[in-house]
Amino acid sequence: MRSNKPKGFNAARFTRGSEAQMVVGFFVLLYFVLLYLVGGALIWLFYGAYGAMLGLSCITVGLLFSLLLYAIVSLLGRWAGE
């Protein structure tokens, strides 16, 4: 019976997997810890609840924009054959 597992080390697959993990780790660290917790708390402290809601919504839009740019670049890379 043949196995569907690839034999040996596949550098391209490893690179794609580790790149995705690093990008996810970066966004989790930057956005959720620094911007949402620290930035949201400071905005709440200086400007109150309404300012914090506006600030957090702007942070969320920035996150979505960054993810959209990453998706576009990733799709262009796949289309180009990399």
pTM, two decimals, is 0.60
Q: Which residue has the tokens 């998706």?
A: 71
- Give residue limits of the domains in the chain: 22-82
Tokens describing residue 70? 């990453």
**DSSP result, 17-29:** HHHHHHHHHHHII
The pLDDT tens digits along the chain (82 residues) read: 555 666 777 777 777 778 878 888 887 787 778 888 898 999 999 999 999 999 999 988 988 998 899 899 989 988 888 6
